[in-house]
Amino acid sequence: MLKEIDLTGIYVSPIVLYLILATPAFLLCRWILARLGVLSFVWHPALFEIALFGVILSAVVALR
């Protein structure tokens, strides 16, 4: 079960830590997709990137 994390007396929601863990993976995937030219084939790149971040964040939460 998810519960708050105590950082020096400040309670932080676990989703904040999951977001911090998912961000480097997302940036790496985004960089790789941009270098391969995949983003030029996507209808709406910003929407695609949000969905990609959601998938990565879901994977981090599921693996945690």
Q: Which residues pair with 7 in a beta bridge?
A: 10
d(CA 37, CA 34): 5
Its pTM stands at: 0.84
Report the alpha-carbon distance of residue 8 to residue 27 in Å, rounded.
Answer: 29
pLDDT given for residue 60 in this prediction: 94
Q: Where are the domains of the chain?
A: 5-63
Beta strands in 1-64 (DSSP E): 5-7, 10-12
Question: Which residue, 42, 8, 9, 64, is CA-closest to 50?
Answer: 42
Instruction: Summarize pLDDT for 5-50 with one digit per residue, the tens.
Output: 888 888 888 898 899 999 999 999 999 999 999 988 999 999 999 9
- pLDDT tens per residue across span 42-63: 999 999 999 999 999 999 999 9
pLDDT at residue number 1 = 54
Residue type, position 3, single letter: K
